[in-house]
């Protein structure tokens, strides 16, 4: 794609040879943007065109699916009354962050077309700021969703968070995303620079000063370790609560002489806990998938073998967190029974078939009585 | 004397199987519990070798439907009894007078059935929701159900299934108890000598719904602080045993400065009157009500009674208790002191008062009734009023869809 870049001495050589891959990274950058390219990247050759094309196509797909999924979530959650609950505001907030992240995609597509960051330093800052706010915001929103679910499920009657509390949490997610996206913007602490194929921007994890290393370490704890710990703890506690509830219900059934049909009820019990474990695991894995690549690359860049960070490798984290922003609406919203019902009602062509039976009768049938017909009949004598 | 008997009636959506029930409230007398007695009428030639099965089930709902995410369900249904009703498994079954009456009236297609609440089964309680919440009610609910099928585990078809919500309630014992509940506390202060003592005595142990509670408060102030105001609350304690949650809500309250401040060395004796009423707590989230089916005659949930020798810890479902709470405000530095006096809030057993008066008369009457049993029934047969649930059934079907 870099062939479309502006003409300069490098571009001229490039044209005459007809194969870009022998040139060092950054040679396609206009002269006035050359200062943006970190020395590290100059040690690599320009990636072959099919790599560019691959990412290009992937990003188009991601962009479309993110707009579709998150747009649908924002539309439905903000317009249907049945979905207007405090907890759902968090899901809405997540969709907003995810859509926000998606606003970078057109910028990327242009950058990839011309082979450098359009807009120079300013363009790079906007790109990275966008990515920083939406990424950190989404990760902490994930953590708050976990916390809210824990509160709701562990104490379903009076434990759930109120509108006021949720609004505070949402404000907090935006505040949380601010410091480590604004500090590099003004180059107070850390800075933004192009990465990967030099068509995307992120914070600088390559400069080996003590100050920058501390920055990378802090942002690692701030946007990865803390939210992940919150998610882990919340879902673990939620799971233990559900297990206790199930056990207590089984005990009550026993007290009332309701002997469960062992096979049936046990299978049911298992499935409640399994279902939750599965759902929690999916969300946790999604978080890992989204943010581990970034953390690994950043930590290696700062503390390890920088040679491992090839342009291709450093493109992957960017791809990972963008794909997760497309998956979020499916994982959070689509597992929401009321949302599915609403989708089915409004967009029948999506082909969602929600089971009506479960919403019609209450809950899973648990157990079966043991009182036999004879004893019944005998005690009606009076 | 003409007495009309109200009978509840509900049919399956296809109208082939119909429930007839003499009442929907069943009373747990603690030592025994009223059985659910009713009759099922099946349209002739409909069954074609299939059977009709009946179930008594209780549903615990302890969370809003809208909060059910991640595959969690906040409701559990326990099937307490299941029985084959048609054909009858025990043709010589003893029928209650109501069943006999109905069977005689409804003809040969009527089949009686009886369900017994198992021991320890909880009372019906509904937890009130905030204003416009129109989800399923939270609490403990009982349902009887009949469906047509080949076996008990047959898939139940909505068109040939009928279910009816019933209530299980507890009534106050005949004897209201002689003991006057009271509590005595005293409070000292960190930086000054002397104590304030507070004694609260209620005029009864058991109140009926709608009755005025009278709490006599005696404060004697032997400290150097003074009491600025007195608050009096009636607190409803709700324990949701299925999720191990408990909370307390004030259902009536007043605050007074009359007679205050109670200066050092002074005493005060005062009686507070409060009436805990559901009507004063409309739309307040989490207030427990006696399982209610219609909006009228709702009352606060009755205190949970347990058999003697058992603790409320053994009770299932939702356990309700009440207390009067007195709070003294001893100023900003003195803080607050409070005490709780437990009492019971219950429904009077029907005819409690007459019972006391006319036990002897009743005995005579019943002898008389037995003497001309036949005449009595004949008389009554024409006065059965059927309360049809046709409209409700339609609604239910719509909701289920």
B305: distance to nearest CA of chain A, Å? 16
Whether B22 has its CB under 8 Å from any CB of chain A: the answer is no
CB contact under 8 A, A336 and B69: yes
Q: How many helices and strands (H and E) does chain A possess?
A: 15, 3
Q: Between residues 2 and 61 of chain A, which touch chain B (CB distance below 8 Å)? A: none
Task: Point out which residues pair with B232 in neighbouring strands.
Answer: B254, B326
- Closest residue in B to A374 (Cα) is B90
Q: Between residues 309 and 338 of chain B, which touch chain A (CB distance below 8 Å)? A: 314, 316-317
pLDDT at B374 over 70: no
Contacts with A336 from chain B: Cβ below 8 Å: 69
- pLDDT of A37: 83
User: Domain containing A164: what range?
Assistant: 48-348
Residue A30 belongs to some domain of the structure: no
A284: distance to nearest CA of chain B, Å? 13
Q: How many beta carbons lie within 10 A of that of residue A305, not counting itself?
A: 8
CB A87 within 8 A of CB A149: yes
Tell me if B5-170 shares its fold with B182-352.
yes
> Which CATH number among 2.60.40.840, 3.40.190.150, 3.40.640.10, 3.90.79.10 corresponds to the domain B5-170?
2.60.40.840
- pLDDT of A344: 85
Work out how many domains chain A is built from and give that number.
1
Cα(A327)–Cα(A290) distance, integer angstroms: 10
Contacts with A256 from chain B: Cβ below 8 Å: 78, 80, 118-121, 316
| A280-322 confidence digits (pLDDT tens) | 898 899 899 889 998 998 888 888 788 888 888 888 888 898 8
- pLDDT of A362: 32
CB contact under 8 A, A379 and B35: yes
Contacts with A160 from chain B: Cβ below 8 Å: 67
Helices A86-102, A104-114: axis angle to 10 degrees equals 10
Q: Which helix (H) or strand (E) holds B277?
A: none
Contacts with B316 from chain A: Cβ below 8 Å: 252, 255-256
CB B140 within 8 A of CB B238: no
Residue A50: strand, helix, or coil: helix
Q: How many angstroms from the chain centroid is the CA of residue A258? A: 44
A250: distance to nearest CA of chain B, Å? 9
CB B11 within 8 A of CB B386: no
Q: Between residues 200 and 239 of chain B, which touch chain A (CB distance below 8 Å)? A: none
Give strand ranges (E) for B330-370. Answer: 336-346
- DSSP character at residue A225: I
pLDDT at A273 over 90: no
- DSSP character at residue B205: S
Cα(A366)–Cα(A363) distance, integer angstroms: 9
The full DSSP string for B47-107 is STT-EEEEEEEEEEE-S-GGG--TT--SEEEEEEEEEEEETTS-TT----HHHHHHHHHH-
| A84-93 confidence digits (pLDDT tens) | 888 899 999 9
CB B300 within 8 A of CB B127: no
Whether B1 has its CB under 8 Å from any CB of chain A: the answer is no
| B170-203 confidence digits (pLDDT tens) | 888 877 777 888 898 888 887 778 888 999 999 8
Cα(A258)–Cα(B55) distance, integer angstroms: 13
Handedness of CA A268, A272, A277, A279 (dihedral sign): positive
Cα(A365)–Cα(B13) distance, integer angstroms: 22
ipTM of the complex: 0.74
Cα(A316)–Cα(A313) distance, integer angstroms: 5
State the pLDDT confidence band at A175, using cuts at 50, 70 and 90: very high
Q: What is the dihedral of CA A378, A382, B4, B10, to 10 degrees?
A: -20
Residue A16 belongs to some domain of the structure: no
> What CATH number has the domain bearing residue A342?
1.20.1070.10
- pLDDT of A370: 25
Contacts with A335 from chain B: Cβ below 8 Å: 69-71
Residue A172 belongs to some domain of the structure: yes
CA nearest to A14, candidates B204, A219, A6:
A6
pLDDT at B96 over 60: yes
Cα(B370)–Cα(B358) distance, integer angstroms: 18
> Which CATH number among 3.40.50.2300, 2.60.40.640, 3.40.47.10, 3.40.50.1580 corresponds to the domain B182-352?
2.60.40.640
- pLDDT of A176: 93
Task: Give the residue, B305 or A8, on which the prediction is more confident.
Answer: B305
State the pLDDT confidence band at B23, using cuts at 50, 70 and 90: confident
Residue ranges per structural domain of chain B = 5-170, 182-352
Contacts with A255 from chain B: Cβ below 8 Å: 120, 314, 316
């Amino acid at each position: 794609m870099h062939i479309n870049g502006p003409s300069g001495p490098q571009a001229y050589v490039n044209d005459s040879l007809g194969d870009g891959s022998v040139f060092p990274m950054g040679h396609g950058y206009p002269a006035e943007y050359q200062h943006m390219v970190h020395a590290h990247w100059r040690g690599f050759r320009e990636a072959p065109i099919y790599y560019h094309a691959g990412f290009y196509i992937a990003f188009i797909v991601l962009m479309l699916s993110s707009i579709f999924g998150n747009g649908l979530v924002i539309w439905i959650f903000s317009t249907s009354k049945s979905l207007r609950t405090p907890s759902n505001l968090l899901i809405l907030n997540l969709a907003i962050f995810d859509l926000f992240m998606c606003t970078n995609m057109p910028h990327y597509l242009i950058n990839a077309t011309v082979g450098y960051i359009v807009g120079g330093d300013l363009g790079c800052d906007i790109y990275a700021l966008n990515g920083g706010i939406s990424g950190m915001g989404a990760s902490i929103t994930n953590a708050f969703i976990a916390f809210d679910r824990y509160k709701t499920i562990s104490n379903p009657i009076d434990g759930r968070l109120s509108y006021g509390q949720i609004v505070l949490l949402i404000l907090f997610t935006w505040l949380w995303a601010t410091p480590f996206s604004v500090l590099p913007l003004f180059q107070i602490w850390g800075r933004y620079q192009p990465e990967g194929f030099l068509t995307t921007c992120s914070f600088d994890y390559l400069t080996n000063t003590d100050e920058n290393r501390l920055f990378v370490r802090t942002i690692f704890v701030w946007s990865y370790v803390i939210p992940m710990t919150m998610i882990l703890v919340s879902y673990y506690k939620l799971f233990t609560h559900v297990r206790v509830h199930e056990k207590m219900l089984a005990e009550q059934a026993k007290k009332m002489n309701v002997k469960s049909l062992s096979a049936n009820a046990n299978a049911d019990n298992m499935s409640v806990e399994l279902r939750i474990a599965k759902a929690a695991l999916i969300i946790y894995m999604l978080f890992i998938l989204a943010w581990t690549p970034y953390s690994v690359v950043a930590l290696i860049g700062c503390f390890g073998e920088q040679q491992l960070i090839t342009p291709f490798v450093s493109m992957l984290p960017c791809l990972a967190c963008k794909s997760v922003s497309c998956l979020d609406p499916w994982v959070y919203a689509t597992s929401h029974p009321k949302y599915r019902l609403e989708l089915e009602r409004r967009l029948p062509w999506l082909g969602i078939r929600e089971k009506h039976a479960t919403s019609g009768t209450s809950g899973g049938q648990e157990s079966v009585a043991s009182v036999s017909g004879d004893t019944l009949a005998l005690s009606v004598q009076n | 004397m003409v007495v009309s008997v109200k009978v509840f009636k509900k049919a399956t959506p296809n109208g082939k199987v119909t429930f007839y029930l003499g009442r929907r409230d069943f009373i747990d007398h603690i030592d025994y519990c009223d059985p659910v007695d009713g009759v099922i009428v099946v349209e002739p030639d409909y069954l074609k070798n299939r059977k009709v099965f009946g179930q008594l089930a209780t549903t615990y709902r302890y969370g809003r439907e809208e909060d059910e995410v991640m595959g969690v369900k906040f409701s559990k249904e326990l099937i307490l009894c299941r029985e084959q009703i048609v054909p009858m498994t025990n043709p010589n079954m003893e029928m209650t007078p109501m069943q006999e009456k109905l069977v005689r009236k409804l003809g040969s297609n009527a089949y009686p059935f009886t369900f017994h609440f198992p021991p320890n089964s909880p009372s019906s309680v509904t937890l009130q929701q905030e204003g416009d919440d129109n989800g399923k009610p939270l609490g403990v609910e009982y349902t009887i159900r009949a469906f047509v099928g080949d076996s008990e585990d047959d898939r139940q078809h909505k068109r040939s299934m009928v279910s009816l919500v019933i209530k299980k309630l507890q009534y106050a014992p005949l004897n209201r108890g002689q003991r006057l509940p009271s509590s005595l506390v005293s409070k000292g202060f960190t930086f000054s000598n002397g104590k304030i003592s507070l004694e609260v005595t209620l005029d009864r142990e058991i109140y009926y719904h709608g009755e005025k509670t009278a709490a006599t408060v005696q404060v004697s102030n032997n400290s150097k602080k003074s009491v600025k105001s007195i608050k009096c609350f009636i607190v409803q304690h709700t324990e949701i045993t299925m999720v191990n949650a408990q909370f307390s809500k004030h259902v009536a309250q007043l605050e007074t400065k009359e007679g205050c401040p109670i200066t050092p060395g002074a005493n005060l004796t005062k009686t507070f009157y409060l009436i805990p009423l559901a009507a004063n707590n409309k739309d307040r989230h989490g207030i427990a009500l006696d399982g209610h089916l219609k909006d009228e005659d709702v009352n606060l949930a009755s205190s949970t009674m347990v058999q003697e020798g058992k603790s409320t810890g053994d009770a299932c479902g939702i356990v309700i208790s009440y207390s009067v709470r007195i709070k003294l405000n001893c100023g900003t530095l003195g803080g607050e002191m409070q005490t709780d006096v437990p009492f019971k809030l219950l429904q009077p057993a029907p005819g409690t008062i007459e019972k006391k008066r006319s036990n002897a008369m009743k005995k005579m009457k019943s002898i008389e009734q037995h003497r001309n049993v036949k005449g009595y029934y004949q008389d009554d047969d024409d006065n059965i009023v059927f309360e049809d649930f046709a409209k409700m059934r339609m609604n239910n079907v719509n909701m289920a869809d």
